[in-house]
Amino acid sequence: INDINYLSADYGLDNWYDPFAWYMYKYAMNLDAIPSLAFNVANIIKSVYGKNKKALALDLDRTLWGGIVGDDGVEGLQIGHETSQGQIYEEFQQYLKKIRGTGVLLNIISKNEEENARAGLSHPGMVLKESDFISVKANWEPKSQNLINMAQELNLGADSFVFVDDNPAEREIVRQQIAGVGIPELDKAEKYIRAIDKAGYFEMTSFSDDDARRNEMYRANAVRAKLLSGCSDYTAYLKSLEMSAEIRPFQHVYMDRIAQLTNKSNQFNLTTLRCTRDEIAGMSQDDRYITLYGKLADKFGDNGVVTVVIGKKECLIADSESEGEGETLDIILWLMSCRVLKRDMEKAMLDALVKKARGAGVRTLTGHYYPTAKNGMVREFYGSQGFERVNEDAEGNSVWRLVVDGYKNRNHVIRVLD
């Protein structure tokens, strides 16, 4: 929804409307107000195409609370409705809590002793508790390095973050060191909410159950990572997760989530085909397509719909290397959420895809990789799954082929529900 009524009120009604511009050009607003409208429309388009930020990296001292916990002590912090300054930070935290409820991940990067940081988070006036944050990095390392490490730990691109810090020097260092990070300019504490909200980092055009549970999912991932650190046998680790998967053709109840994934997944996305909900629904009803979604759960929680495959059946003309005529399945889309990387879900999906293809008379699978700035991690994905490289051009676009006959299941750690 492009709320022009709100925009005009925010801009100021007397300044928004220009009778001369209306009568001369039929402009609904003053020429100077057009950038405000255009920026709002751009944020909506950004959201539709999955370009929203996903996480906040928040400073503590003079950002989440008034004062410096290392100098003033926990009892000296300004947070809560007892003082005007404390109320400012309380309301800022209430705003962040609401953002968290839409699926944005909250994290902390603070130059502090960890003990002091955690003591501050336990202040009785805090709206946000330590459990609201996925990652807490309180140390004396450069904040830019902490942000890079945090992104790697969460399997997110660093450009998925918004860095919120009251110190302009820290903001400038991060701006110079890490491209693409959202960095709002913070002035007075009472303007923090406006600075972040007006920037449109988290413009929402859809909301799914997975969005509502995203913080819970990433917190469970942190527990899994801790378990892995104490395990020397990776296969044994995967089996210990007690994973189960639901892999089925597209279902109506998941159409919104599937469409959302096609527009948000960038790293594990072999062709980066973007689809609307109507296009997804259309392919699910078209006999020319084989569609599969995958849900993954384990003993720590349900990750929801995390992977999508779409294949289009094409006629395969007989040639000297094949006997008779058959069909090939052209895999036009294969993507997976990075939060389930390295858990063999891709193997389970390939097993299901081959089974489905065999039932449809398909003899070969054809996969495509189109390189982007973010999907280099899957450049050799098809090769790792037993596909043969057919060709590759100078730009790195490659075509891969897998013969269905003789294929043996590759997944041995995930129980696939019937």
Q: What is the mean pLDDT of residues 389-394?
A: 95
Q: What is the mean pLDDT of residues 31-42?
A: 94
Residue appearing with tokens 């990095």: 137
Q: DSSP labels for 341-403?
A: TTSSHHHHHHHHHHHHHHHTTEEEEEEEE---SS-GGGTTHHHHTTPEEEEE-TT--EEEEEE
Q: How far apart are alpha carbons 251 and 277 in whole angstroms?
A: 12
Write phi, then psi, for 58 (nearest 5 degrees): -110, 135
* Res. 221 pLDDT band, cuts 50 70 90: confident
Write phi, then psi, for 293 (nearest 5 degrees): -120, 155
* The pLDDT of residue 127: 96
| Beta bridge partners of residue 136, listed in sequence order | 108
Q: What is the mean pLDDT of residues 105-122?
A: 95
CB of 277 closer than 8 Å to CB of 255: yes
Mean pLDDT score of the chain: 91
Q: At 326, which helix (H) or strand (E)?
A: strand 326-336
* The pLDDT of residue 324: 38
Model pLDDT for residues 121-168, shown as the tens digit of each residue: 999 999 999 999 999 999 999 999 999 999 988 888 899 999 999 999
Q: What is the mean pLDDT of residues 237-253?
A: 94
* Res. 326 pLDDT band, cuts 50 70 90: low
Model pLDDT for residues 47-93, shown as the tens digit of each residue: 888 889 999 999 999 999 999 998 889 999 999 988 999 999 999 99
Q: Could you report how far apart the first and last alpha carbons of the chain are, in Å? A: 40
* The pLDDT of residue 283: 95
